[in-house]
Amino acid sequence: MSSASTSTEAPQPTFVQPQSYKVDLEPGKHRGGPFKPKKIVVDEAKTYSLCGCKYTHNKDGFCDGTHRKEEGIKKYNEFLLKANGKLKDEAEQLKNQLESADRQQKLIITALSVAVLAIGYAAKYTAFFNKQ
């Protein structure tokens, strides 16, 4: 058999949202955000649209409308299918865990019921034989 192959493909971006982020930018200022900062130089203070789908072809990360084009829609649909598949797998795992816990609970209840009955019979017969 062959050894494990190494992949040279770049990691695929994850869709954060299928639309742009509207942000107010000012020259020389950074206001934080959910992403690792990338230096963006702007000439004027105004609202800019930053890419939210992660498939922009703009080198500075501004929205170029890819999320509305066939390429972006296809990638977003693929993302949704993969996410739905993961959710389906997680739901199946949770269902199996719940069924297993239910079986264990029934076994414990049965074992405790048998123990209580055994204790009851033992007490009844001990009292019966102690009277004689």
What pLDDT, on the 0 to 100 scale, is given for residue 113? 95
Residue 6 located in a structural domain: no
Domain holding 108, by residue range, is 69-132
Residue that is last in its domain, among 23, 48, 68: 68
Total-model pTM? 0.41
* pLDDT at 18 (0 to 100): 66
Q: Are residues 42 and 99 in the same domain?
A: no
Count of structural domains, the chain: 2
- Identify whether residues 42 and 83 lie together within a single domain: no
Cβ contact 56:66 at 8 Å = yes
Residue 91 has a pLDDT of 93
What pLDDT is attached to residue 61?
84
Q: Are residues 98 and 112 in the same domain?
A: yes
Residue 112 has a pLDDT of 96
- Do 26 and 49 sit in the same domain of this protein? yes
Residue 71, phi-psi category: left (phi > 0), alpha (psi -120 to 50), beta (remainder): alpha
- Residue pair 56/75 in contact by the 8 Å Cβ criterion: no
Is residue 7 in a domain? no
User: pLDDT at position 50, please?
Assistant: 84
Residue 124 lies in a domain: yes
- Residues 64 and 74 placed together within one structural domain of the fold: no
Q: Are residues 50 and 78 in the same domain?
A: no
Q: Is 21 strand, coil or helix?
A: strand
Task: From 26, 52, 68, give the residue that closes a domain.
Answer: 68
- pLDDT profile of the chain (132 residues), mean per 10: 49 61 69 64 86 83 86 83 89 95 96 94 83 71
Helix (H) or strand (E) holding 23, with range, is strand 21-25
Contacts of 117 (CB under 8 A, 6+ apart): none
SS (H, E, C) 27-75: CCCCCCCCCCCCCCCCCCCEEEEECCCCCCCCCCCECCCHHHCHHHHHH
Task: With respect to residue 75, please indicate whether it lies within any of the assigned structural domains.
Answer: yes
Place of tokens 């501004």: 62
